[in-house]
Each structure stands twice: as C-alpha cells, then as structure tokens.
Structure 1
C-alpha cells in the first residue's frame, strides 16, 4: 500500500473528513494492531449473510490511505475502517448517526505486534531491538504517528459516554476468549439477525489461521504493496505474547505509564485469558 507523503497528509485527512457517508455505512474504528482485519471480515459476513470471504481486502475501504475518489466508487453496503482518532472521524458518521464498532486491545500486546509489524514492513532498515523500541512507544506520539494510544482510547471512551447507542465497544481479548459470544453482540448491534448456525460458521471462517490462509489465497492484492505472499498483518493473533518480550523492569515501567495515563478513566484491559 502506498503511503501518503507527510506534506499531503493534512489535505487527505480533510478530504476524508468530508467523505460522503451513506445511510447504510458501518464504521470500524480501531487502533493499529487491534484486530481490524478480523472484525472487518466478521462485519462483512454478518451484513452479507454468508460465511464466504470478501475478495476485496479491508484495505479497499481503509480511510487512512484511501480518499473519497476511491471510496465513493465502492458499492454499498460499505464497512469503512480507520485507525484515526475520534476527532478525525468523517463528519458524516456523526451527522447521520452511523453505527460504529470500536475494537480495543491491551497495549502490551499492541506494542509487541507493532514492533514486528515495523520490523517486517520493509522499505527501510530496521535495526532496533525490542529493548530499544519500547521507550519509543511511551513517548509523546505513543506507538502511532497520528495519535498516542492512551489519548485514542480516552477519546472514544468520552464519545461512548455521550453516544452509547451509536457505538459498540469490543475487546480483542474477549473476541479470542469466546468469538461466538462476541459475534452475537455485533449481530445484535447491527440488527443483522443472523442464525446461531451462521454465526458459528463465521466464527470458524474468521479463526486466525483461516483468515491468514484466506488472505494469502483469496484476497485481491492490488490494494497492497506486498503482492501475493504472507501478509505482515497476520503474525500470531494471541493474547499474552507480551510475556515473551517484556522484562520484569519493562513491565513495571509500562504499568506505571498506564496507571498515570489512564488514571481518570474507567477503562480496564486484560493481559491474559
């Protein structure tokens, strides 16, 4: 996927914020490495009423990199997806009271996943060890160039408190623990009314190993730069992999950072299941 040059980013954001939103759109909001591909595929299957994979990848409607000139041509129903914070969401999502599915993941596993994402991304030498990479994630910019993680989750929490009927907050860890239960939540929220049998089929089709295989064999690759080879988007998809990377001192450091930055929130994250 071609990255937008920094000098064009501001204009791209404004174009996306003015995107023409349709009444039947659904908006998937996620911080990077929080299960975007997984939940996007689930929503598409629920809306279609079939456990068959969508040939076009979620990148085809990924607002971080796709502008209105592309998104406007995508046929309905669309499942738009974006990593941007609440305050950069397309205005029409709020104006039209479009349903928002927001997926969160514990930040320790996000950091590990993000480390490997950048390590395997290519395009530039990546020599940082995890020991060197971790301090960068706790700085002003968090682990994402657009917005720090803790500000991102706090902003969506504030939105949820004022618009609880418009947003469904899911957790990656809950999805891993009981995908059928969580897919039923999405089904109810979207009003798709699918049968228990179909929801079971969707849960199986969207199991990590099956999604990884489908990404390699089925998904159209014109939206990505990697071509038809294993995607860096699918590594482990586990809960608790952070334990294999954090030292005791690093874990204590991030716990202190979390306590400081989430002190005034009601957000609770699970680090194991």
Structure 2
C-alpha cells in the first residue's frame, strides 16, 4: 500500500489532504444547527454540490463560486483546510464530507444540521475513480482496470467500501434532517432536484433563481470556472494532461469500460453486500438505462426528504 495514506478507523485516507490532526479537529468540530452537509462517497457529485449549495443558500448570488476556490467555499469536514477557513464561512455554513455516518462528530448527532446524501451508480463511481487515480499524484497508481476493480470491491481505496458508506447513511434514521438524491437525477433533471433542495433547506427560491443556478451548475460552466476546475492545483498533485478533472459528467460511462465478466463479478459482489437492504439504488440491480424522459425500475431513488 502507498505510504501516502493513513489508516483511520479502517479507512484509507490520502495524507495530502488529511492528517491525524485534521481528523481529530473534525471529531471535535462544533456543528451548528444551521449547518448543511453534502455527504458523498468519493466521485459521486461532491464538487457539483460545492457549486450548488452556496448558490441555493444565498439566493443565486454568484460571488462565492466566482471568487473562492471550491475547497474553501464548501470545505471538507475531514481535511486539513477546514481549520484555516472555518472562521470565514458565512452562516448558514455549507460543508462536504466523505465520512461514513459513524465517523461524524458527536456535535453533529445532537444538532439539527441537515444532510443531503448523494448516491451514484457504483459502476460509474468506480470508472471515475479509476481515472482520478491516474491523474492525482497523491494517490497510488490504479494499475489495470481489472486490478482497480478488485481494490474497489475490497474497499482498499480511499474511504473504504462503497456499500459500507451507502448502508451507513441509509440506516442513519435522521428523519427530516436528511434528503437522499442521486447523481443520475441531477444529470436528468437538475432544476427538479434544485427545487427539492430549496424546499428541504427552506429557501423558497423562485423559478428565475432556479434557472440561474441550473445554468451556472452545468458541467460546461463548472469546467470553465477557474474556482471550480482545479486548474489552480499544481500539476504535481493533479496532472490534468493524464485525465481532466471534469472528464465526462455523464450517466452510464461504465458501459464503455466493463467486460461482461467484470460486470457479472462487480454486480454480484455489490448485490450480495446489499442483500436484505430495503432501499433501491441507481443501476445496481437493473442494467437497463432509462432513455430520455423514462424512469428505470431500480435505476433511480425517488427525490425526497426520506
């Protein structure tokens, strides 16, 4: 295993962004009732939520997304940067985290802070992660696609097993404090998702503002935004000549990568680990991908608070 990782409660975390001090800081962090967390497994829409949340929370004011790098405007709870920027965060504060539910700080559990949990088809998560490992100098080389798939299924990647992460948050019983959405829904109908987020966060945004946020949170807009496209990061850490950070932003790219044998293995492992769960997830059981305007039987989770 690369020496560029630390082990934390059985999870591998890259030392470039994490330290034992930053993780201790996260555990002692004082969560406020008005805080909003976007929670994701890596490569499931985190950066998208860093663009969306400030715009929803401040009625479409573009200032933060045009003047503050995304990692400072909506910082990660577990990363080193939080301690440096936390005092500058406006209220209500927006944060992101890759933590499983059980690693959230004690103050989170006693607060009224809200959570938006974004799930993505695990096959697309793995493909995106594979390319990210190729361009990120602080992560170990992914090896072949087949080798990386085995690491992913075994949880020998940052933040562990995808299934463990999803199960931890799906079982959280946070009631009306948590809203579940999917990356696939965001791709298919972002305005509809934004309306749900607006309602969930009691923002009451007009259709005009929803339209404005949709425009500025498109794949093309974010890719062109210096504050969001990671072009400010030195090449030694993120070599976008190997793979662009904003690569495709589509649903179903896994079809271009998985062999039939790999697909059978991947689906078998994921389904076995989710056996007995009562929630449906994007693209795990149903291999049929919806056409435009069509809903798949198990490809989408209903947008809503619970």
Q: Aligned pair in 2 of structure 1 residues 204, 51: CA closer, same or farther (>3 Å)?
A: farther
Q: Secondary structure at the match of 2:116?
A: strand
Aligned equivalent of 1:246? 258
Q: Counterpart in 2 of 1:204?
A: 215
Following superposition of structure 1 onto structure 2, how do residues 36-115 of structure 1 map, counting pairs within 5 Å? Answer: 36-50=46-60, 52=62, 53-60=65-72, 61-66=75-80, 69-77=83-91, 78-115=93-130
Closer, same or farther in 2 for the Cα pair 1:125/1:174, shift >3 Å? closer
Normalising to structure 2: TM-score of the pair? 0.78
Q: Which residue of 2 aligns with 1:233?
A: 245
Residue deviations 1:128-174 (CA, integer Å, cap 9, x gap): 121222111111x25x3333111110010110xx2221001110001
Closer/same/farther in 2, CA of residues 68 and 58 from structure 1, 3 Å limit? closer
**Alignment length, in residue pairs?**
265
Paired residue secondary structure (1:80): strand
CA-CA distance at 1:270 after TM superposition: 2.7
Q: Distance in 2 between matches of 1:155 and 1:87?
A: 7
In proportion to residue count, which structure has more helix?
Answer: 1
Structure 2 CA distance for partners of 1:71 and 1:222, relative to 1, 3 Å: farther
Q: CA RMSD in A?
A: 2.7
Determine helix, strand or coil for the equivalent of 1:100.
strand
CA offset digits 1:220-256 (Å, max 9, x no partner): 9798444999694311111100000000010011111
In 2, are the aligned partners of 1:26 and 1:98 still within 8 Å (CA)? Answer: yes
Aligned in 2, Cα 1:123/1:41: closer, same or farther, shift over 3 Å? closer
Q: Which runs of 5+ in 1 are unaligned?
A: none
User: Which sections of structure 2, spanning at least 5 residues, go unmatched?
Assistant: 8-17, 284-288, 291-306
Structure 2 match to 1:152: 165
In 2, Cα distance between equivalents of 1:40 and 1:148: 23
Q: In the alignment, is the contact (CA less than 8 A) between 1:29 and 1:84 conserved in 2?
A: yes
Q: How does 1:189-200 map to 2 (within 5 A)?
A: 189-200=200-211
Could you tell me how far 1:124 is from its partner in structure 2? 6.9
Task: Return the TM-score normalized by structure 1.
Answer: 0.87
Higher relative contact order (CA 8 A, sep 6+): 1
Decide whether the 8 Å contact of 1:28 with 1:81 is kept in 2: yes
Give the direction of change, closer, same or farther, for the CA distance of 1:103–1:15 in structure 2 (3 Å limit): same
Matched position secondary structure for 1:138:
helix
